[in-house]
Amino acid sequence: MSDANLFAQQAANRRRSVWLVAGFLLFFAWVGFGGDYALYLLTADAPPGAYRHTLPLLGLLVTATASALCYFAWKTGPRRVLLATGAWEVVTPASPAQIQLANVAEEMAVAAGLPKPTVWVVPDQDLNAFATGHDPRHASIAVTEGLLAALDRDELQGVVAHEMAHIQNDDVKLMTLLAGMLGAIALLSDALGRYLRLGGRVGGASRGGGGRGGKGGNPLGAVLLVLWLFTLLIAPVVSRLLAMAVSRKREYLADATAAQFTRHPEALARALEKLDAAAGATRSIAEGAAHLCIVDPAERRISDREGIVGDVFASHPPIRLRVARLRAMAFQQAKREAGAAPA
């Protein structure tokens, strides 16, 4: 992959991030103000003295709550992810492995042209790594103890370069925001569902025959209300599938960017093969942080599948496909170097 093509992909990546965030904001607006509009249409022809929904209370409440939840997740998310894993920061390296990790992180920061991130170690014997943060100046890279013990220097450099690529490509920023939005959607869906169930029981006990001789309200309002309820029901599932799809696409780009930093795609390919051979789960890393990791922290029965199942339900593309792409890059690099050698 040429540098120009890589930079074009990075630019396209950032544009997709903007559209993705815009889509979530539109969803929040629909959940809030769409419900208000449906209720307004249904109660517009209510008889005198009956309730008429005129103030967009639902929209204002949903917007305020979702904004607060997303802001809280954005501000505290990276720190909470690190602390939830039991990770500790490498401030003064105390072993040869920690010294090597700190040196590799500094080298890859120089290669990426970014400030050195804080480096953390997760007390887990499985092989994994992840990056988190708000921006390149406030980013962290964490690796497991098992990964430090299993990889040689070149392979460790490839893994750290992959995480630096996520930082450079603004993936950590988007994923932190996505985590906040996913949490907000799940909470709002649950809260509104409880409210509607409670309202239905209370309304059913007190309504009797309904207004206007038992006839329904505006048909358009009824249709909008059904669509609104359906959206509320499937929103948590669809939003999580969307987040996993975003994560899958970014893994390929991070692999390619890491190869650009190290000029050694074969080392990252070997590292991924070692991570794939460790078939156990990274139990220190919760499922909600799976999209941050270099490989799926759960047992990879789904992410190893090709086809529709893996494309829809996995948080990462199959490792063998990532390895094949990296080996193809290594082959092309070797051809270019061989062609330039006689000159």
φ, ψ at 30 (rounded to 5°): -65, -45
Q: Contact 267/156 with Cβ under 8 angstroms? A: no
Q: For residue 177, what are the contacts with CB-CB under 8 A and spacing of at least 6?
A: 21, 70, 73, 74
Q: Shortest CA distance to 106 belongs to which of 35, 174, 160?
A: 160
Q: Which residues of 247-273 are buried (b: 16+ CB within 10 A; e: fewer)?
A: bbebbbbbbbbbbbbbebbbbbbbbbe
Q: Contact 121/87 with Cβ under 8 angstroms? A: yes
φ, ψ at 243 (rounded to 5°): -65, -40
Residues taking part in catalysis: 163
Both ends of the chain: CA-CA distance in Å?
Answer: 23
Q: Which residues of 44-80 are buried (b: 16+ CB within 10 A; e: fewer)?
A: eeeeeeeeebeebebbeebbebbeebbeebbeebbee
Q: For residue 334, what are the contacts with CB-CB under 8 A and spacing of at least 6?
A: none
CA–CA gap between residue 68 and residue 121 (Å, rounded)? 31
Instruction: Give the pair of three-digit tokens for residue 262.
Output: 């190290």
Amino acid at 137: R
